[in-house]
Every structure is written in structure tokens, then in C-alpha cells.
Amino acid sequence: MSDATGPVTDARGNRLDQIRLTGVSATGYHGVFEHEKRDGQTFVVDVVVHLDTRRAAAGDDLRHTLHYGELAELVVAVIEGPAYDLIETLAERIAATVLADGTVSAVDVAVHKPQAPIAVPFGDVVVAIRRDRTKLPAAEPYVPPVTAPPTHAVGAVEQPLEIAPLDVAPLVVPPLEPPTGTAQLPVAPDDQPTTAFTVPDLEAPAPIAAPADDEVVGEVVTDRLDVAPDAPVDAVLAFGANLGNAQETLRAAITEIGQVPGIEIVDVSPLARTAPVGGPDQPDFLNAVVLVRTSLAPRELLRAAQAVEQAHGRERLEHWGPRTLDVDLIVYGTVLAVTEDLELPHPRAHERAFVLQPWAQVDPDAFLPGLGGGPVAALAATAPDREGVRWLALDWLTAPLPAAHWEADAGPRPGGPGA
């Protein structure tokens, strides 16, 4: 990218093209004074969209560029929509709406308030921002009412979800018991496809429910992420651990998440042993991705995942530090959202091979929505940490893997670094 006023470039340093939409005006009810929210006033918005227009031009195909007519309608809808105290908030909402279109790399938004209640003569008041894939907007995209959604619209990020039947049977995870016996080291994952998994009988852990609101650390937020879906939604959870018997922890955690009312486990990925990314010197991680279908709201699903973490002694003492269990909500349907406590999709999923590679194994056609997204298999092949994935194990839910049983304080791991 570039600074906030200069040209925007792509990953190779090539300057991107621009689509400029200026002077879009509508009546809004934004301001800190009561009369502003009561009487309204005219707001004017300028938008500069940074993107590569060559593919659209080569095929004369609107699908590969921005539909600026629909963009103008969406900008007006945001201006005329919910009232905000600050035009800074209005600018963020417009930027989020534009960036929800996958063809857009960056956007400049200028909100003019020429009738602002200022006691001295003035010409205009303008708030101007630039947002891109690395500096995301601090607001959610505007979503048009679900009536007759446009075929290609900036910000049309949530359509009525139709769940197609999967080729695999839902995973029924029976209670776990301590693993016994030995198993051969894992084979390459393409030797055979993974379909459904059965976990051996283990001592049944007590069912874990999402914590009550008064048990949640931090501010309890109420917004659309607290609204349960009309129909079950497909979601993706990423599990990781590198303290204690990590394999046993992950097996138990997957069982526990499947016992939460409103969560059905659909499939579980192969187990990946991965080098830590960032943070202090620490043991390798074991990682797995779990596909679920849920009737819980996004934030309810997050809290259920956090409850499972807490049940396994998760302590957030050090950023990117070692942990007994880490459970992240990666994707919830097609929802795009940025809030204080939850960002969807997960903001770093597109560059984390320890999420992308197991996910691509269990769902080769998976697609990561949102900024930086794309086909999961392609993202996995180019992820910066892809060399850190040591191996993948297919049968890890049903058999113990000796190489996965190191203890954090037991000295060097089997095979040493890079094994």
C-alpha cells in the first residue's frame, strides 16, 4: 500500500487504478445536537476506490470491477440510515461497505458536513479517511434489506443462507477415554481422503455451555453478532495446543464443543504439527480445524469456544505465547464484521498455514470470505508460514501419536526442530 494520501500499490508495487465517485449527497441525521438528529441536514460524500480494472476491461465484464451505480445507492443508504453522533463513524461505515467488495484493495472516503452548527463563518467541514486490507474500518458494512438483492453490489455480504447437504455424515463424537496402545507415525494426507471421524470411548467430560453474560470478562456487547440465525449456519473453528498432552487436549476439546447445545460437528481435519509463529521460544503446536453447523449467534459461538478454553486452563498471559488450548472462530457463514471483541472472518486466517492447510485437507473447495480471502487451498499454498507445517496425521482422533505426546518441560521434542 502507501501513505494515507499517496498512490496505492499492489503487492508487487504496481500502482492501482481508481474509480472516483464524488458529490453524493443525501439528508442524514448525524450530529451531537438534538436538533441535528430531529431536523437532519445535507451530507456530501466523495469516494475514491483503488483496484485493478484490467481484468474487467479485458473481458468487458462488470463482475470484475466495481458497480459504481450501486455504490452510490449504498452510500446514500448509509447517510440516510442510523444516526451517529460523529461523521467519523459515518465515514468508517461507508469505508467498510466499499471494502466488503472483494475487488477493492483500498478506499478513500471524505464526508462533508457543509451545514455543521458552527458559530463562525466557514466553508465546509470534512472528515477524510483511507482504509485498506491492513487498516480495516472500525465499523461493519452496510447490508441492504433482504428483498431482491443485487447481483453484484458493494457491501452485499450477507445473503439468505442456503445450507446444501454435505457429502459426509455429521460427526458424532462419543465420550473420550485415555488413549492406549501405540500407533504408526502419520502418513501423508493425500494417501486417502478424510470423510467422517469416530473418536474412541473416553471418560465423558461434563458438558460445557457458553458462560453466562456475568461470567464474560470485559464489556458485553449487543449488536447483530448477538442475533441467532434464522437457519443453521456453517462455521469454522481452529483448535491449537502446545502444552501437556496436546493431542489428548484437542480430542477432549472437540468432544466438549460438540456437546454445547446448538453446535453440531460436521467434520474434523487432519492433525497438523506446526512451528510457532511469533512469540517466545516454545514447543511446536498441534493444530486442527473443525467444521461445525450452529444455530448460535456468532458471539454465542465465540463464548462457547472460550468456555472450552477455560475448562482446559487457558491463561492469556503472553501474546502468541504457549497455551494449553486455543480455540478461534475463523468463519461464521458469510458474515463480515469488525467489533471490539470479535472480527469475522478471523483477521489473520488468510496468512496462517496452520489454519489453512488442515482446513484445505478437510474441505478442498473451501473459500475464505472477506478482505484478503480467497480459495483456502490457494491461500495455504502461499501462506508465509507454510514451511512450518511439519506433518499432517489422518487418524489422530482414533489413535495416539507418539510424536504428539511431548510435555512442555520434558526436553527436546521427538525428532527435534524441523522433523
* Alpha helix segments (H runs only) across 220-321: 246-258, 298-311
Are the beta carbons of 152 and 173 closer than 8 angstroms? no
Neighbouring-strand partners of residue 19? 49
Q: What 3-state DSSP class applies to 106? A: strand
> Could you give the CA distance from residue 87 to residue 257 in angstroms, rounded to a whole number?
42
Chain position carrying cell 522433523: 419
Crossing angle between the packed helical segments 87-99 and 68-80, to the nearest 10 degrees: 150
Q: Return the sign of the alpha-carbon dihedral for residues 275, 290, 137, 377.
A: positive
From the centroid of its chain, how far is CA 64?
A: 23
> Could you give the CA distance from residue 326 to residue 332 in angstroms, rounded to a whole number?
18
Q: How far is CA 374 from CA 186, 244, 356, 380, in A?
A: 29, 35, 11, 10
Amino acid at 212: A
Chain position carrying cell 511469533: 278
Q: Which residues are catalytic?
A: 113
